[in-house]
Amino acid sequence: MGDLNGRVALITGAAGHLGSAVGDALAELGADIVVLDLSAETTQAEAQRLAAAHGVRSIAIPFDLENPEGIAVVPERVQHELGRLDILVNNAALVGSSSGLDAWSVPFLEQSVASFRRGLDVNLTAAFALTQACAPLLARSGQGSVVNVLSIYALVGPDRRLYEGTTMENPAGYGASKGGLLQLTRWLATTLAPDVRVNAITPGGIFRDTKEPFLSRYTERTPLKRMATEEDLKGAFAFLASGLSRYVTGQNLVVDGGWTAW
């Protein structure tokens, strides 16, 4: 039931750390992969890597999800080149530490309305627009599955003690956009049923050269006493993308080492 041979998965933000791991997880089960990301160069490189590593078909679609006009070209190209679409993973996001975004990862009184709106556009509106564009193709699959990637900050507020004495911040727009994506998941689940299942995955903090003292504070507060790795999340994506979860929709699978269990 976990076999994805013959199915096609579209992953947004697919050239990033988590997106790349999701691509590996689904390709390992036999899925062909559509890599969608902003940079043409990195998107093409990731598609080539997946094809070479797993012996699957993989195509690259460079696309700016912040400006979704013309987004219908995405499912049209998938249909033309791969013939179907079974799985959509909405993973692209401006994260808490996104660089190059002014007045985003700064203290609350310095966060700008413009950056807040950009966070909503990329993290929430883009998932709405792409799911809407892909819904007919997913429905024709007979096994359509949408997986939205959230954050623990869709569920809880930030523990400010973790950030004291560091240069790290927790943007309001990040938590608000991920919380909105959780509700969009539920809304889409009842709207696209019975043809397409829609679920979410909520990762905990993922270790990426995380600095002290944040690292020690985070691990001490986590029941499993460590941050996540991308490898920890692969099984959750495989579960929700495949027939293993064929009677699961409208749910949020939390993979956070127990962070939100306190």
Verify whether residue 174 is a known catalytic residue.
yes
Q: Would residue 2 count as lying in a domain? A: no
CA-based nearest residue to 138, from 13, 235, 1, 34? 34
The tally of domains found in the chain comes to: 1
Phi, psi of 72 (to 5 degrees): -60, -20
The string of pLDDT tens digits covering residues 60-77 is 999 999 988 999 999 999
Asked if the peptide bond before residue 203 counts as cis, ω within 30 degrees of 0, the response is: no
Give the neighbor-by-neighbor strand order of the sheet with 8-12.
Answer: 58-62, 32-37, 8-12, 87-90, 144-149, 196-203, 252-255
Domain CATH number, residue 45: 3.40.50.720
Q: Would residue 29 count as lying in a domain? A: yes
Q: Would residue 250 count as lying in a domain? A: yes
HSE-up of 79 (CA within 13 Å, CB side)?
14
Token couple for 114: 């413009």
pLDDT at 102: 87
Print the domain residue range for 76.
8-104+113-157+171-207+229-257
Q: Would residue 23 count as lying in a domain? A: yes
The string of pLDDT tens digits covering residues 140-174 is 999 999 999 999 999 999 999 999 999 899 999 99
Exactly one of 153, 163, 174, 247 is catalytic; name it.
174
CA-based nearest residue to 16, from 227, 183, 213, 230? 230
Q: Would residue 164 count as lying in a domain? A: no
Cα 170 to Cα 159: distance, rounded to the nearest angstrom: 9
The string of pLDDT tens digits covering residues 221-249 is 999 999 999 999 999 999 999 999 999 99
Q: Would residue 213 count as lying in a domain? A: no
HSE-up of 189 (CA within 13 Å, CB side)?
18
Token couple for 223: 């029941």
- Within the chain, where are the H helices? 17-28, 40-54, 73-82, 113-120, 126-141, 172-192, 214-221, 230-241
Strand 196-203 and strand 252-255: the pairing is parallel
pTM of the model: 0.97
pLDDT at 98: 64
